[in-house]
Amino acid sequence: MTETNPQQISVKKILPLILATAIFMQMLDSTILNTSLPSIAKDLHESPLNMQNAIISYVLTLAVFMPASGFLADRFGTKKVFIFSLILFSLGSLFCSMSQNLTHLVISRVIQGVGGSLMTPVGKLALIKTFDKSELLKAMNFAIIPALIGPVLGPLVGGYMVDYLSWHWIFLINIPIGILGIVLGLKYMPDYKSTDVDFDLKGFLIFAAASLLLSISLELFGDMQNISPVLFVFILGFLFLYYYYKHARRGGNPIFPLDLFQVRTFRVGIVGNLATRLGISSVPLLLPLMIQIAYKQSAVTSGWIIAPMALTAIFGKSSVIKILDKYGYRQTLMVNTFIIGTLICLLAIPDIHTSLYWFVPIIAILGFFNSIQFTSMNTISIADLRNFQTSSGNSLISVNQQLAIGFGIAFGLIVLKLFESSDLIKGETHNAFRYTFLTVGILTIISGFVFRRLHISDGKNMKSKDE
């Protein structure tokens, strides 16, 4: 064993904190907008229901650029890429606060998204390379604490800033945190590089094009006057997916090898993640919108009602191993998805005269089961991957997760707009939200049948990994 010098000790103490600042900014940014959209929409002279691009553009940019993070870190060094990502994220936040219209905001969110797509993966990579396996879990647990705190603070901080300051501050709050990360990163971030740099640039560009085209088709569907451009973009997206399939079959070193999909548990995990998140991802946006638009309540009120979802998610994380040990992945995921779908349906019961307190226990219980769902889906996806598949498989799971969130938000708002423009609700906006929750909840229940493809014994080898 080589002796550990004082500089290495300092790096090991500070590095988890550096990653924590990155994760905190990203998690805060992912949730802070949900309670703030109506205020931003009003200031930018837009309908709140047309503001989804501000969220979707960020999430999809994360999905598109995440696969390139490992290559860029290997090629240019973890230190340079991490500092660059923090600068880009902070600049994107500044540009967001200065936005004069929705187009400016979307472009600024894309800049933020590019920074965010590199920030956390490269920070994690540096952590993995710095710590021994025996120390890694402790370091990672410290670094991900902000991932649990961010979603709690996001809706609340967003609500208070919008009501007592202005919406611009929800972006400006990132800048001092980003500067702290940059200062610490310059001094303590190790600069790991790799001489063996091999990146499937062609595959990356094809996959990115497919993701963007499918996302744009969803957006066009929400505002469609004519079905032809929607179908054209949608079909083009699938053609690019097929083109990627042909590209990956030729061999070489594709960014997402096709042999991943020969692993049944990975295949079920990926499809299940995409299907169930269509419903789950829309709730944290739809509920604050309903509270502010239909109930005419403040952003702070909607923030307090949403906050329990993140708090109970922490308890879900501490319970998931016991639940999986007792019931197994197949039963847990099927039953859990049905429970989540039913809880989303329950959000449709209160009418406009019902107390808002009705939503608090539903949202709190939903947060608990969401946490179990996400942990179970992510772990079963990698349960049977071999060592050489883990890196690309893990990357595809992260990309799929971000795409599913983007698609879920777009899907929820499309359903809401369709109900709002129908004769069914007779001009009562609140009923449009109720029917949307009902539709999204029923589809979530149906998505649970995806997990029937799992075997009862699947995931048994994950016990040691979970623990």
pLDDT of residue 464: 40
- Quick one: pLDDT at residue 338? 94
The confidence score (pLDDT) of residue 387 equals: 67
**Confidence (pLDDT) at 422:** 74
The residue among 195, 212, 234 that closes a domain is 195
Mean pLDDT of 436-460: 86
**Triad 26, 218, 419: Cα angle to 5°:** 105
Residue 463 scores a pLDDT above 70 = no
- Domain with 191, as residue range(s), is 1-195
Q: Are residues 227 and 361 in the same domain?
A: no
Say what the pLDDT of residue 16 is.
Answer: 75
pLDDT, position 196: 64
CATH number at residue 47: 1.20.1250.20
Contacts of residue 462, defined as CB under 8 A and 6 or more positions apart, other chains included, come to 324, 329, 379, 380, 383
Q: Are residues 321 and 445 in the same domain?
A: yes
Looking at per-residue confidence, does 91 or 422 come out higher? 91
Average pLDDT over residues 369-391: 77
Q: What is the mean pLDDT of residues 158-176?
A: 82
pLDDT of residue 7: 53
Q: Quick one: 286 and 357 in the same domain?
A: yes
Tens-digit pLDDT profile for residues 38-60: 788 888 888 777 777 787 788 88
Residues 220 and 184 in one domain: no
Same domain (yes/no): 239, 375: no
The yes-or-no verdict on residue 197 having pLDDT over 70 is no
pLDDT at 344: 92
* 415 and 449 together in one domain: yes
- The last residue of one of the domains, among 195, 224, 239, is 195
Mean pLDDT of the chain: 80
Q: What is the rounded average pLDDT of the residues 393-415?
A: 81
CA pair distance 308, 156, nearest whole angstrom: 11
Tell whether the model's pLDDT for residue 5 goes beyond 70.
no
pLDDT of residue 277: 85
* pLDDT over 90 at 91, yes or no: yes
224 — pLDDT class (breaks 50, 70, 90): low
Choice between 95 and 170, residue whose per-residue pLDDT is larger:
95
**What angle separates helix 78-97 from helix 102-130, to the nearest 10 degrees?**
160
Do 366 and 456 have their domain in common? yes
- Higher confidence at residue 136 or residue 21? 21
Minimum mean pLDDT range among 245-254, 301-310, 423-432: 423-432
Tell whether 239 and 295 lie within a shared domain: no
Residue bearing the bigger pLDDT, 29 or 370: 370
Residues 436 and 323 in one domain: yes
- 210, 241 Cβ separation under 8 angstroms: yes
With a pLDDT cut of 90, the percent of the chain lying above it is 7
Residue of higher predicted confidence among 211 and 460: 211
| pLDDT category of residue 442 using cuts at 50, 70 and 90 | very high
Q: Which of 172, 195, 218 is the last residue of a domain?
A: 195
Which of 98-107, 222-231, 348-357 has the largest mean confidence?
A: 98-107
How many whole angstroms separate alpha carbon 351 and alpha carbon 56? 29
Give the pLDDT score at 286: 86
Are 116 and 8 members of one domain?
Answer: yes
One-letter amino acid identity for 274? L
From 211-215, 244-248, 363-367, 439-443, the region with the lowest mean pLDDT: 211-215
pLDDT, tens digit, for every residue of 298-325? 878 888 888 788 788 777 777 777 888 8
Same domain, 182 and 217: no
Return the pLDDT at 94. Answer: 92
383 and 247: one domain?
no
| % of the chain residues with pLDDT over 70 | 86
Domains contained in the chain, number:
3
Q: Is the pLDDT higher at 140 or at 211?
A: 211
Per-residue pLDDT at 461: 58
Q: Using pLDDT thresholds of 50, 70 and 90, give the confidence band for residue 388.
A: low
